[in-house]
Structure 1
Amino acid sequence: MYPRITNQIVLSALEEQAAVVLLGPRQVGKTTLALELADSRPSVYLDLERDADRQILAEPDLYLDEQAGMLVILDEVQQMPGLFKSLRGQIDMRRRKGFRTGLFLLLGSATNELLHQSAESLAGRVRYIEMRPLQLDEVGRDRLNDLWLRGGFPDSFQAASDRASLSWREDFLRTYLERDIPALGPRIPATTLRRFWTMLAHAQGGLLNAAALAEGLGVSGQTIGRYLDLLVDLMLVRRLAPWHENVGKRLVKSPKVYVRDSGLVHALLGLGSLESLLGHPVVGGSWEGFCLETLIAAAPSGTEPFFYRTSVGAELDLVLHLPEGETWAIEIKRTTAPKVSRGFHLAVEDIKADRKLLVYAGERDVPAADGLRAMPLDAAVALLRNI
């Protein structure tokens, strides 16, 4: 087991807020974290995917009234959307009795629906935290290639071999397509959604071309939007927005799209070893997506990520707008040579970046001209964590 950074974030949030909503895709470690918390304090845990646990909450107020003073953990809470109104009353009742923080921990794997339900009912009473797959600073720099190849889902990363890891990810994809997504309501054929997901993996880090995707699948552009919204809501795909503050430039306005876990990219493309990955055309996009997700995860809470591209060739792989107002320009390259293009310098000038980084595959932190620093991924992560 690797110590998870999210554990401490959740502990701190429970000390400050009445309810915490922990979001993340299935199998990312939310339940493991919750059960560790349950062992450390008076708690009750209910898994709302189990009929028996849902029956316990058939009359939620009767049951929850008896749990005052306990941390109530509700797993897969989106399974009971009507519960949120009861939770609001329960939080207010507990506050009157002097219990103000650490009352409820809600786990969910469907963001849009869950956020909509809780935002209306629990406004001012809840904090949202995203739990991501294993991160580089959790597993160590020496496991970087394993993390890139296998992805960060704990069972995939910790598998006994690359073959066993790939088998786990293939089962994960099948379960999502055949059971989990249909359970959320959308009636999408599993084979169609699998093809769509695979097309996104082939184009990892490319601009969204809904027309080309629609033609390839034989569906409408609106249907492509619906498929993409679903995978984004499940935190399996990232739609990275273009930087939009430079109104005087002819900016690219389409978002870039990434399958968020690199291991899933490789499973969708049948890449089970580092050798097969390094020889595949997706290697550059896969490395970019892996670094991008790692850097966004390491950035302070409230950071907004973008990319920047203009019609005249100015381009940045990642722009981080930090909560205190700083803007970081980041180029990502799968190379050992710490060099950036002229387009990088043009883009930095356009957005007036406060810091300029090149994240590359070398091992040294190298200062370059014009305030640019080239560094390996783990050094960039440490820089962001220490803000």
Structure 2
Amino acid sequence: MRDRLSIAVTTRVRLAFHFAPWVDSRRRIRIGYLSSDFQEHATALLLVESLEARDTARFELHAYSYGVDDGKGMRARLRRAFDRFNDIRHLTDEEAAKAINDDGIDILVDLKGFTEGTRTSILALRPAPIQVNYLGYPGTLGSELCDYIITDAFCTPEGSADAYSERLAVLPHSYQPHGCREVVAPAPRRTEAGLPAEGFVFCCFNQAYKITPEVFDIWCRLLNCVPGSVLWLLAARGAEGNLRSEAWKRGVDGSRLIFAKDLPHSEHLARLQLADLVLDTAPYGAHTTASDALWAGVPIITRPGPTFPSRVAGSLLRAIGLSELIVMDQDDYFERAAELATDSERLGELRRKLAQNRSSAPLFDVDAYTLALEALYEKMWQRHSAGFPPAAI
């Protein structure tokens, strides 16, 4: 990756893209979204309703896709959501950057960051006057690849700006979008989901690499103190045997770990309702898995740390009005989870509060979220048009 970025910097000097100092005020602001995930993917699932809710009179949206076309409904839906959908898979980085520049993109938004299949080297060519790090990568891209990172005051609290090469563009609630139109189907029977007919269900559908020994210690303590409970995890080939073995070492019958296979998103949301309580990981916490759980009506306990990826679930809980599920240390984490697992009345109150807040709290208010996001884009563009450098907004 470093070599590709170094080559890109050399190419950028040679290309020397030129940007007009102003744009006809009658023209819509052109936003380009760069990603390989414009298909059935968590990023698309989170973002699609916000794209559909955009102000079409003020913004013109362009997709620059370098991922495969999986032929599924999300791909077709995204094509409809954008004004123009550009497949750049077969273009070189230089050709892709020229295409973006030729299209007159005002703000180029990267949805990928340093994740699998990334082409951040396109960003290094600086094909747009403003470049933004958003949603796909919860941290700085460094190397001056982007001018702004879209965030919120919980994910990047006061005093954290120096950890980012980008300027902070702060949304009023949570930085993460989420749709509100997807209907959660009735839950299947527990036995259909591989769960025992009775017993408390602790759940974590984060990727297995996020499970640390310290977190697993607490989970096993919870299983030991709540008779008949199980821990419901996402299937992870190669990790399941190790996790069961580690459970036995901690005095827990390994068969109390239940592994859920991958399902289509709608079926996944339906089965999520069978969980009683979601347990977050640390220091890399739940992101889409957290908002999915909340949309399905399941509370989540999280212990945020000092970094962006450790604080996303806390941001979501604040935006849904459940800050009481944000704990400060491992002892609080264990005690809060044990309390809820052994006090059905208290857990029921939380679930009822979550159900009520789902339709009124900011987290799932797509229209308000989109307005706030577009306001950030407006401010970025106004600063640039006035000749000012990027600054926190």
Q: Is the structural similarity TM-score above 0.5?
A: no
Please state which structure has a larger fraction of its residues in helix: 1
Shorter-chain TM-score: which interval?
A: 0.3 to 0.5
The two structures have a TM-score, normalised by structure 2, of 0.35
